[in-house]
Amino acid sequence: MGAYFQEEIECASAGKIKQMQDERLAAQVKHVWDNVPFYRKKLEEAGIKPEDIKGRDDLHKLPFTTKADLRDNYPDKLVAVPLDDCVRIQSTSGTTGKRVVAYYTKEDIDLWEDCCARAIVAVGGSKKDVCQVSYGYGLFTGGPGLNGGSHKVGCLTVPTSSGNTDRQIMFINDLKTTILCCTPSYAAYLGESMKEMGMKPDEIPLKAGIFGAEAWSEEMRNDIQKTLGIKAYDIYGLTELSGPGVAFECSEQKGMHVNEDHFIAEVVDPETGEPLPDGEKGELIFTSITKKAFPLLRYRTRDICILSHEKCGCGRTHVKMTKPLGRTDDMLIIRGVNVFPSQIETVLLKEGYQANYQIIVDRVNNTDTLDVHVEMTPEVFTDNVGEISRRQNELVAALRSMLGIKANVTLVAPKSIIRSEGKAVRVIDNRKI
């Protein structure tokens, strides 16, 4: 058993957790009923009044909230406090129609940073550590969340943000960074780069990594641990609920503890919406019970996972979730950025192409690649190499502006992409994750 950031809460008895959740859920339902017309209408339509929700056992009576609800209420119609009381927004990487804006009060940020601090202490972090935060800073929650957590623990925080690999490695060596926070694919890339520079794992000052925001396999964990000479831990979260730290891995490296004093987790059958017991695979649903500015009732994450209340060797009592095992929608996570095929299609149609395209995702040297093959229409077909290259560059720019990341574009001859008799196979994901 290691150290804890908030032992009393992290190791609370099942009874204490239930009591906390009961009280906070009832108060949260009243809070949204009083302050968010959208929720009041939704609850009224379901025939529910705040006094019907006395605690966690009544949770299943509440209607779900979906990403579509968030989009329909863009940007601030779900905010449950006066805007004057909000001090920050963060936002998802999806653009236009898909963008979600999450609002925070000062207290919301404080509690979010507690969650991230718990994750840092769980991997052995203390004020003696140097914590390099190589997640992106800005609208993405990764950088700001772990930065705040690192401050709370008292680590020397190195806010490198993502990218600029040489500088990352320089700081790791010069500042003797012990904890690295970034996406697992970037951690693997850093490891490869250091290996190429001739650095041996035992010469690298790092001892632990907190890696999340995208799927990664146990094989990838083993590789990263070997090349960097560290223990690699998972961390989960989503912008809608605050960001990283909704759940985090402990010393056991077997699943992530959900911070149950802030979030009630359920797993439901994605088709019927019926709650499923521990051990069964289904869609992960969260209710945020402490967030004041942007509370969510039974939010459908679209992530597929399994919950477990089995006793954990680390001494923490909060329920554990497996790594997300897939998604119920078609969202791809490419270099940490959420990409929907429909966004790519929107750009192609806007630029005068038809919906004959294929998206090929792969992982080369531990970095995700995104290639889009697009058919030219017969009307605009050309075999002039210069002209093709000009048009490809045009599409690369339009896609970058929509997605926020670079996609390689190849224009192909009319009718060269295989037509499907059933559902079109738009996405070929060759990553082994």
Check residue 214 for interaction with ligand DLL (CB under 6 A). Answer: yes
Give the integer Cα–Cα distance in Å for 235 and 242: 13
User: Is there a contact between 243 and 142 (Cβ–Cβ < 8 Å)?
Assistant: yes
The reply to whether 282 sits near ligand DLL by the rule CB under 6 A is: no
- Which has the closest alpha carbon to 304: 337, 334, 271, 257? 271
212 touches ligand DLL by CB under 6 A: yes
Question: Would you say 186 and 215 are in contact if contact means Cβ atoms under 8 Å apart?
Answer: no
255 belongs to the binding site for ligand DLL (CB under 6 A): no
Q: Which of 134, 141, 251, 358 binds ligand DLL (CB under 6 A)?
A: 141
Among 125, 191, 209, 237, binds ligand DLL (CB under 6 A): 237
- Minimum distance from residue 425 beta carbon to ligand DLL (Å): 22
Chain position whose Cβ is nearest to ligand DLL: 212
Q: Does 93 help bind ligand DLL (rule: CB under 6 A)?
A: yes
The reply to whether 283 sits near ligand DLL by the rule CB under 6 A is no
Of residues 330, 388, 395, 393, the one with CA closest to residue 357:
395
- Classify the phi-psi angles of 124: left when phi > 0, otherwise alpha if psi is within -120 to 50, otherwise beta: left
Of residues 213, 230, 339, 344, which one binds ligand DLL by CB under 6 A?
213
- The answer to whether 431 and 366 have CB atoms below 8 angstroms apart is no
Pick one of 234, 260, 368, 375: the residue that binds ligand DLL (CB under 6 A).
234
Q: How many CB atoms lie within 10 A of CB 408?
A: 14
Least gap, CB of 285 to ligand DLL (angstroms)? 12
Closest to ligand DLL by CB, 20 vs 181, is: 181
The conformation of residue 376, written as its DSSP 8-state character, comes to P
User: CA 58 from chain center: how many Å?
Assistant: 28
Q: Per CB under 6 A, does 235 bind ligand DLL?
A: yes
* 327-346 residues near ligand DLL, rule: CB under 6 A: 327, 333, 338
Q: Contact, 119 vs 210, CB < 8 A?
A: yes
Task: Give the residue with the Cβ less far from ligand DLL, 155 or 409.
Answer: 155
Q: C-beta of 142: minimal distance to ligand DLL in Å? A: 3
Number of residues that bind ligand DLL (CB under 6 A): 24
Yes or no: say if 261 and 111 are a contact pair by the CB < 8 Å rule: no
The residue with tokens 């950088």 is 143
Closer residue to ligand DLL in complex, CB, 207/327: 327
- Binding flag, residue 267, ligand DLL (CB under 6 A): no
Q: Alpha carbon of 403 to those of 40, 81, 98, 397: distances in Å?
A: 34, 31, 10, 10
| Closer residue to ligand DLL, CB minimum distance, 238 or 359 | 238
Is residue 243 within 8 Å of residue 237, measured between CB atoms?
yes
By CB under 6 A, tell whether 270 contacts ligand DLL.
no
Structure tokens at 98: 């898909």
Q: Are the CB atoms for 337 and 344 separated by under 8 Å?
A: no
Task: Fill in the DSSP letter of residue 76.
Answer: T
Closest distance to ligand DLL from the beta carbon of 94 (Å) = 8
Is residue 239 within the footprint of ligand DLL (CB under 6 A)?
yes
Among the residue ranges 11-19, 206-214, 342-350, 368-376, the one whose residues contact ligand DLL (CB under 6 A):
206-214
Q: What is the contact surface with ligand DLL in residues (CB under 6 A)?
A: 92-93, 135, 141-142, 212-215, 234-239, 243-244, 301, 303, 323-324, 327, 333, 338
